[in-house]
Structure formats: structure tokens, C-alpha cells
Amino acid sequence: MAVFAFSVAPMTAGESVADQVAEAVRIVRESGLPNRTTSMFTEIEGSWDEVMPVIQRATDTIVRAGYRTSLVIKADIRPDGRTGELHGKIARVEERLSADEEETGHS
């Protein structure tokens, strides 16, 4: 299991790539795998065999539209098969921050 962060976008001269990126995100969401999209990346959780075809389909939708395409992928690979890390990693950091705030009295 792993959490993959990827960014795919057409390399165009125009300002906005929102339409093309929205289509790629739609493919990720339709996969049924846990996912989250932020301003910089789309994160998706699953096995290599589940996630890589989704990233490929999301990328292909932009390439098929005739655009030169930029793709960046980063992965946090868990050999122990742990799941729920898309949200679990953030929850652990927030817990530590809350504990620090309680100890110092700062919020």
C-alpha cells in the first residue's frame, strides 16, 4: 500500500489549465480509491496495481487532447500494507500540534 501524490497538467501558453486538470481529477474520483486534491497535487491511496493505471488514465486524458504534458509523481510506500494513511498521516501531525499547544498554552 502507498500514498501517491501526483500533478498532471498540460504545458500550455495559457493561464488556466483548470478544465484539463478537472478532467484528470474526475478520473481519480471515479476510481473509488481514497483521494484528495489540493492546489498543488492530487493524492491517491492504494496498491501500485490499483493506483498506477488511474494515474495513467488521468495523464492520458490530457495527452489525448493534444497537449504536451507535465507529470510529477511522489510515493510514500508502506511495506507493512498499512491503509488509511491518506488521512492518518495528517491526523498524527495534528495530534502532536494539539499536544504541543496544550503543553505551552499557545493556540
- Interval 42-55 mean pLDDT: 97
Mean pLDDT of the chain: 91
Q: Where are the domains of the chain?
A: 2-81
Q: For 68-100, what is each residue's pLDDT tens digit?
A: 899 999 999 988 888 898 888 889 999 999 988
Q: What is the DSSP letter of 105?
A: T
Q: 5 pLDDT exceeds 70?
A: yes
For residue 3, count CB atoms less than 10 angstroms from its CB and return exposed for 0-12, middle for 13-18, buried for 19 or more: buried
CATH of domain 2-81: 3.30.70.930
Q: Is the pLDDT score of 107 beyond 70? A: no
| pTM passes above 0.75 | yes
In this prediction, residue 66 carries a pLDDT of: 83
Band the pLDDT of 61: cuts 50, 70, 90. Answer: very high
Mean pLDDT on 53-57: 98
